[in-house]
Structure 1
Amino acid sequence: MGLEKKKKVEEEWNNIYNSKHQLSRADFPSHFVFGVATSAYQVEGGSKDGGKGPSIWDSFSHTQGKICDGSTGDVTVDQYHRYKEDIDLISKLGFKAYRFSISWSRIFPDGLGTKINHEGIKYYNDIIDALLERGIEPCITLYHWDLPLNLEESCGGWLDEQTVKYFAIYAETCFGSFGNKVKRWITINEPLQTAVNGYCTGIHAPGRSESSSTEPFLVAHNQLLAHAEAASIYRNKFKDEQGGEIGLVVDCEWPEPLSDNLEDKAAATRRLDFQLGWYLDPIFFGDYPESMRERLGDRLPKFSQQDRELLKHSLDFIGLNHYTSRFVGHAANSLEENDFYKIQDVEIIAEWEGGEVIGEKAASSWLYVVPWGIRKVLNYIAERYDNPPVYITENGMDDEDDDVSPLHEMLDDKLRVSYFKAYLAAIHQAILDGANVRGYFAWSLLDNFEWNLGYTKRFGLTYVDFKNGLTRHLKSSAYWFMRFLKGGQVKHGKED
C-alpha cells in the first residue's frame, strides 16, 4: 500500500471525522430508524423449553471440540425467560427498534411444517406485544443460522431443495401469526456465512468441509431461492393487508485495493462479487457475477427462467451487516487457506506498507476499526444496484472476555464508544453522498454466545455477568447511545 494512498485515505477521513460539528441524532432524517440487534440462538436459551425442537446449533455446540471454550447456547443470557427485562433495557437506552430472530424449531420443532408449536407462537407474540407497548418496532429475522436439526438429518438441510419448500411454509406461518404487528421482515441473515463457515471451513454448524469446492455454492443457491419464495408469499398474500416490507441481510467487509494498479483494483472488485454480488446480482441482474461464473464453471448452479422471475427484485430493502475493512490485492497463487478464497485469486491483509495496521484491533482476529470502509460499501451498493433502500442491520466490535479485571474496567469500553461514533459519522457522510440509508442497528444489545467462539468474546452494549446470575450491567457505550438518542447529558455513568 503506497504511502501516497495512505495519506490520501487518512486525510479524506480526517476531514469528515475531525469536523468541529458534534454528530447528533438530529443530523439523521426524522424517519431514520435507530435500533439494536440480537439473534435467537445467541440470546434465547430455553433450549428445551416451550416445546422447542433441536437446531443444528444445539447439536453442533454439544459436539466436543467445536466451541473453543466448550460452552453451548442452552441457556446463554436466558432471554427466553428475561425478555421483559431486556426490552426495558432497549427502552431505557432510547432505541426505537429491536431486530431479533425467530427460532424455526420453536415454531416447527421438526422443521417440516406439519405441526405448529403454539407455545412458540405465543412466546414471540408476547415479545412483539411487549415491544409495541414501549413504542419499540419489532424487526424480525426468519433465519439466523439455526436450522431445525431434523431437516439436516432427514434431507441434508440447505443442500436439498426440499428445505426451500419447508422454509416457505415456516415463513408463511410467521407472516400469518405476527404480520399484523410486524412491518419489517428479513428472510435470511448472512447466507454467505452459512455457506462458507457451515459448508467450507466447517467452523459453524453443521460443520461440513468434506466437499468445500461444491457444497457452499449449492447451499447459497438454495438459500437465495428460499428468500425469493418467502418474499413472493409475503407480497402475494400479506403485503397489501399488512403493509410491511421484506428484505435480505448480506454481510460485506470493504476490500480496499492494495494499490492503484489495475490488477489490485480488479481483485478488490472480484472480492465484492464473492461477497455482495453472490447474493445481490441474481436479485438485481438475474444471475451470479461473471467473475464467479468464470472461476467456478459448473460448480456454480444455474437458475431456471422461473427462478429468475421469482428472484427478480425480490426485496424491498437490503440489510447490510458491516464490521470492518481490509486491503485486497491480486494473487494468482493465493495462499488463503480454503477453496472459497483461493478461487478468488486474492490476498487479504490488514496492514499498510510499513506494517502499520489498517485500524485499531478489536478482540476477533478479523476485526479492525476502519470506519471509512462503511461509507465506501454504502456508496458501492448505491452505484451498482441503483441506490436501493439500505438498513445497517449489524455494526459493532468485540472485547475479550476478562474474568480478572474489575467490573468497572470491563464496563468502560472506550474503544467501542469511539467505534460507534466514527462509524455513525461515516454513515452520515454516505447519506450526504446520496446513499439511501434508512436505519441502523447496533450489534449487540447484550454480550452473548458468540458461535464457535463461545463466551470468549463480548460484543454487547450491556455486560452480562455469566458467573453471577446473568446480571445485566450497562457499559459506557450503552450510556453513549442513551445520550446520543435522547439528547441528554451523561456524567459518571448516569444520565442527568
Structure 2
Amino acid sequence: MKKLPTGFKKDFLWGGAVAACQVEGEYLKDGRGLSTSDIHMYDQNLDRLHYGLEGGGTLAYIKAAAEDTEGYYPKRHGIDFYNTYPEDLKLMAEMGFTCFRSSFSWSRIFPNGDELEPNEEGLKFYDRFIDELLKYGMEPIMTISHYDMPLHLVTEYGGFGNRKVIDFFVRYAKVLMERYHDKVTYWIVANQINLIPIVRFGLLGIYDDQVPEEKMDQLMYQAVHNLFVACAKTTELARTIDPAMQMGIMLADGTNYPATCHPEDVALTMKRNRLQNYYFTDIAFRGEYPTYILRYFEEQNIKIEMEPEDEKLLKENTMDFLAMSYYSSSVIDHKKNEYKAFDMSQNPYLEPTPWEWRMDPLGFYNALSQNWDRYQKPIIVAENGLGALDEIQADGSIQDDYRIDYIRKHIEAMKMAVLDGVDILAYCWWGPIDIVSSSTAEMSKRYGLIHVDLDDLGQGSAKRTRKKSFSWYQKVIASNGEEL
C-alpha cells in the first residue's frame, strides 16, 4: 500500500523568484536592446484599484516612449541587480535558499530579436549569474520568456501575432539551452501564458491599435497559439540537446469560486475556469485543443490559423511540469460577470489589500489540488506573494508580521496539498527582495523579505535591509517547512 507523506520531501526546494525585467536595470548596458518592459512609465496619479494593462499602448506611443529619455520608466533601472546580484544572492544564501527562480532578458541576448547571432556580452552576464547561484547551492529555475520581448519584434513584426516570431523565439531558446543545459535543469518556457488580455503586450507583444478593437480577441488567441507552437518547438529541441532538462509552462492561477450555490453561478464558474485556466494547461499537458474552447472560438467567430504540423507538434511535445503563480482568488456571479476572461467579482469573505488582491490560503490549497488532480504533473510554485505598503520604524526595522502571516498560512495550505499527495517540487516566494511591480511599475508595492531603499521615482540609497520576515523565512527553510 502506498506510504502516506508526512511533510515536505527532504529534497524540497525553498527559495524565491524575480524577473529580469523588474530587477536587472542597466537597460542599455553591454549591447542590450529595448524590450516591452522598458516603456512602462510610472504613473504618479496611479489608481491602485483600477489600473489598466501592464505597459503597452498604441504604436505611436510605443515609438515615442522608446525615444523618451525624460520620463521615468522604472523597469529600465530595476534595483540594479545587474550589478548587485553577488551581494543580493549572498543574502538569499543567508536565508538558506536551495533554489532561485529568475528569467533571461531576451533583448540582452538578441537586442532586436531577429539577429542571426546572439550578443555574447549579454550571455556572459548570465554565465556569471548562474555560476553565482550554483556557488551557493541554489537550483536555478530559469524562465525563457517573462514579459521581456525585444521591442523591435513588436514594432516591426507585431509580436506573436506574426508567425515569424516563433522562429526568432526558438533561436533564442536554442542558444540558452545549448549554453546552460548542464547547469539548469528546470526551464519555464513562458511565464503566465494565460494572462490575456491583462498582459497581452508584455506576453505576446500586441499593442492597442494593432487591429480594431472588435478583432482584438482574434489576434490575441492567434498570438497565444503561436506562442504555444514556439513552446512545443522549444521542448522538442530541448529533448535533443539534453533529455535531462525539465520543461514547464506557467499558469497564473485564477481558479474562481461560484458566488453562491445558484446553479447558474456554479455552471458559469466552471466554464470560466476552463476559459481562464484549463484551456491553456490542457494544451500544454494533453497536447490538443479541448472541445470546449473550440466551441467558444466558434461562438465568438475566432478562427485559429494553423500550419499542417502544429497539431502534431503540440501532441508530441507536452510539458514535464506545471509552474504556478498564486496570489489571491475571486468569485463569479452570473448576474454580474460574463463568459469572458478576467471578468470577476471580489469575495466578500476575504479582506482586501490596497490593490484588491484578497488573501485566500485555502484557495491556494484548492488550486494546487485541482491542477494536480487534472494533470498528475509535478508542480513548482513559481510565485506566491503579498504586495504591501511597508513602514520603516524609528530604529530602521520593518516589522512585517502581515507578510509572515501570509507566508505561514500559504505554506500550511501547501502542506495540506502535499499530505494529500500533490507532488510539489519547489516553493518560490515572489520578490524575496523588493522589486519594481510588474503591474503598476511602482516600488511602493513591496513583496520583499529584504528592503531596498528606493522610492517610486527611483530615489534613494538602494541599501538592502533585512525585514523581520527574513529571519522568520530562514527558520522555515532550516526546518524544511516544519517551524512556522
Decide: shared fold, TM above 0.5: yes
In the superposition, relative to structure 1, how do residues 64 and 416 fare at CA in structure 2: closer, same or farther (>3 Å)? closer
Does structure 1 residue 317 correspond to structure 2 residue 303? no
TM-score (norm 2): 0.84
Deviation digits for residues 255-291 of structure 1 (CA, Å, limit 9, x no counterpart): 1122223322222211211222221112333433444
Distance 1:392 1:363 in 2: 24
Task: Summarize the Cα distance change of 1:358–1:227 in structure 2 as closer, same or farther, 3 Å threshold.
Answer: farther
Letter in 2 for 1:394: E
Shift of 1:410: 7.1
Q: Is the 8 A contact 2:232 2:313 kept in 1?
A: yes
Unaligned runs of 5+ in 1: 1-25, 336-341, 352-356, 489-496
Does 2:398 align with 1:400?
Answer: no
1:437-452 to structure 2, matched below 5 A, reads 437-452=424-439
Matches within 5 A, 1:272-283: 272-283=273-284
Are 1:426 and 2:413 counterparts? yes
- 1:174 to 2:170 alignment: no
- Alignment pair present for 1:349 and 2:339: no
2:237 to 233, 236, 246: 233
Distance 2:460 2:328 in 1: 32
Quote the residue 1:109 is aligned against. Answer: 111
The answer (yes or no) to whether the contact 1:321–1:394 under 8 Å persists in 2 is yes
- Paired position in structure 1 for 2:476: 484
Q: Distance in 1 between matches of 2:332 and 2:396?
A: 36
For residues 108 and 214 of structure 1, the distance between their equivalents in structure 2, rounded to whole angstroms, comes to 28
Matches within 5 A, 1:214-233: 214-233=218-237
- In structure 2, do the counterparts of structure 1 residues 203 and 393 end up closer, same or farther at CA, with 3 Å as the change threshold? closer
Change in 2 beyond 3 A, CA 1:409/1:469:
closer
Q: Compute the TM-score of the two structures, normalised by the length of structure 1.
A: 0.82
Greater displacement, 464-473 / 405-414: 405-414
**Contact 2:38/2:73 (<8 A) preserved:** no
Number of the residue aligned with 1:372: 362
Contact 1:400 1:458 in 2 (8 A): yes
Given that 1:295 and 1:343 are in contact with CA atoms closer than 8 Å, whether structure 2 keeps it comes out as: no
Tell whether the 8 Å contact from 2:33 to 2:110 is kept in structure 1 after alignment: yes
- 2:463 is aligned to 471
Contact 2:14–2:426, Cα closer than 8 Å, also in 1: yes
Confirm whether residue 389 of structure 1 aligns to residue 389 of structure 2.
no
Instruction: Report 1:26-37 matches (<5 A).
Output: 27-37=7-17
What is the aligned partner in structure 1 of residue 148 from structure 2? 146
Structure 2's unaligned 5+ residue stretches are 1-5, 46-53, 57-70
Residue 115 (structure 1) shift: 2.5
The residue type paired with residue 349 of structure 1 is: S
Q: Which amino acid aligns with 1:461?
A: L
CA drift at 1:304: 5.4
The DSSP-based 3-state class of the residue aligned with 2:160 is: helix
Distance 1:225 1:204 in 2: 13
What is the rounded CA distance, in whole Å, between the counterparts of 2:390 and 2:148 in structure 1?
24
In 2 relative to 1, CA 108–205 (structure 1 residues): closer, same or farther, beyond 3 Å?
closer
Tell me: CA distance 1:462–1:90, structure 2 relative to 1, closer, same or farther (3 Å): same
| Residue 186 of structure 2: aligned partner | 184
Report the CA distance shift for 1:303/1:273 in structure 2 as closer, same or farther (over 3 A): farther
Q: Distance in 2 between matches of 1:411 and 1:63?
A: 26
Distance 1:67 1:407 in 2: 36
- 2:283–2:289 contact (8 Å) kept in structure 1: yes
CA distance 1:416–1:62, shift in 2 (3 Å): closer
Instruction: Please state if 1:362 is matched with 2:353.
Output: yes
Q: Distance in 1 between matches of 2:292 and 2:390?
A: 40
2:288 counterpart residue number: 287
Contact preservation (8 Å) 1:249, 1:318: yes
SS of equivalent to 1:273: helix
SS at match of 2:194: helix
Which residue matches 1:260?
Answer: 261
Change (3 A) 1:417 1:102: same
Superposed counterparts of 1:329-344, under 5 Å: 329-331=333-335, 334=336, 342-344=338-340
2-structure distance, mates of 1:303, 1:215: 13
Change (3 A) 1:418 1:300: farther
Greater strand content? 1
1:267–1:346 contact (8 Å) kept in structure 2:
no
Alignment match, 1:460: 448
Residue 12 of structure 1 aligns with which residue?
A: none
Correspondence for 1:45: 25
Instruction: State the alpha-carbon separation in 2 of the partners of residues 430 and 349 from structure 1.
Output: 26
Q: Any idea what SS the aligned residue of 2:344 has? A: strand
Cα deviation for residue 306 of structure 1 reads 2.4
Q: Distance in 2 between matches of 1:468 and 1:480?
A: 26
Classify 1:250/1:408 alpha carbon distance in 2 versus 1 (closer, same or farther; 3 Å). Answer: farther
Q: Is 2:208 the partner of 1:208?
A: yes
Aligned twin of 2:75: 73
Change (3 A) 1:383 1:67: closer
- Worse-matched range after superposition: 457-466 or 257-266: 257-266
Q: Percent sequence identity over matched residues? A: 27
Separation (CA, whole Å) in 2 of partners of 1:203 and 1:476: 34
Amino acid in the other structure paired with 2:476: F
Once residues 305 and 204 of structure 2 are traced to their aligned partners in structure 1, the CA distance between those partners, rounded to angstroms, is: 26
1:295 Cα deviation from its structure 2 partner: 3.0
Q: Distance in 2 between matches of 1:110 and 1:47?
A: 13
What residue identity is the alignment partner of 1:29?
A: K
